[in-house]
């Protein structure tokens, strides 16, 4: 609902403060245990979606095995519905779901809090998808503080997705910090919570 970028970090990432809110748009993913002892398998209905180790779903499985010592591999089919390059967190949501699914199919070797912590190692905003659905996120996005939804869940939203894709890495690379808003993130959060509205002066 807003994104404030506040500093450039020594590790190349940016410090941010953002109010994230889940919506009822998501990909559909089917998981099953693979008989393979060497690799995961990913198929999808959309051309151009990577199905190799660069996909966050495959990265999530590799991370889960590394953290738990599991030797289980998975078969996945991804029915893509969230537009690519839209900044809607489609890939991050899929990675969080893959971590959760791997844990369920492996007998819950990890707690959900552990999954949330591990998620930050493969993507800055993946941890959000272990929240209650609305969260104030700081750090590079991996520090998640659940907040009550400030807007009624029945409120309709209109999403506008231009034809062009906007890869997150390129957006941050070309971001000019000196030209950024100086609005207080906590002030933006308080204003939205107080009014139950996202207005032009709070949607930064």
Give the HSE-up count for residue 5: Cα atoms under 13 Å, Cβ half-sphere: 14
Query: Residues, the chain, total?
Result: 204
Specify the pLDDT at position 151.
Answer: 84
Closest CA to 142 of 166, 122, 168, 172: 122
d(CA 197, CA 63): 38
pLDDT tens per residue across span 111-156: 999 999 999 999 889 999 999 999 999 999 999 999 999 888 788 8
Q: Token pair for residue 124?
A: 């800055």
Ordered by where they begin, the domains of the chain are 1-22+131-203 (no CATH), 24-120 (3.30.230.10)
d(CA 188, CA 166): 25
Segments of the chain with pLDDT less than 50: none
Q: pTM for the whole thing?
A: 0.90
């Amino acid at each position: 609902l807003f994104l404030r970028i506040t500093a450039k970090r020594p590790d190349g990432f940016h410090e941010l403060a953002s109010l994230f809110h889940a919506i009822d748009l998501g990909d559909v993913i089917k998981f099953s245990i693979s008989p393979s002892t060497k690799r995961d398998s990913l198929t999808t209905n959309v051309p151009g979606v990577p199905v190799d180790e660069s996909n966050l779903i495959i990265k999530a499985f590799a991370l889960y095995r590394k953290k738990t010592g599991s030797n289980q591999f998975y078969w996945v089919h991804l029915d893509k519905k969230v537009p690519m390059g839209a900044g809607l967190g489609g890939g991050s949501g899929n990675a969080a779901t893959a971590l959760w699914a791997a844990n369920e199919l492996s007998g819950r070797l990890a707690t959900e809090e552990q999954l949330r912590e591990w998620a930050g190692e493969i993507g800055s905003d993946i941890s959000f998808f272990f929240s209650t659905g609305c969260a104030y996120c700081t750090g590079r996005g991996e520090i998640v503080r659940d907040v009550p939804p400030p807007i009624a869940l029945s409120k309709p939203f209109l999403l506008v997705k231009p034809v062009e894709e906007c890869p997150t890495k390129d957006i941050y690379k070309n971001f000019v910090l000196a030209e950024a808003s100086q609005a207080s993130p906590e002030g933006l959060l308080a204003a939205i919570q107080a009014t139950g509205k996202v207005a032009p002066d709070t949607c930064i």
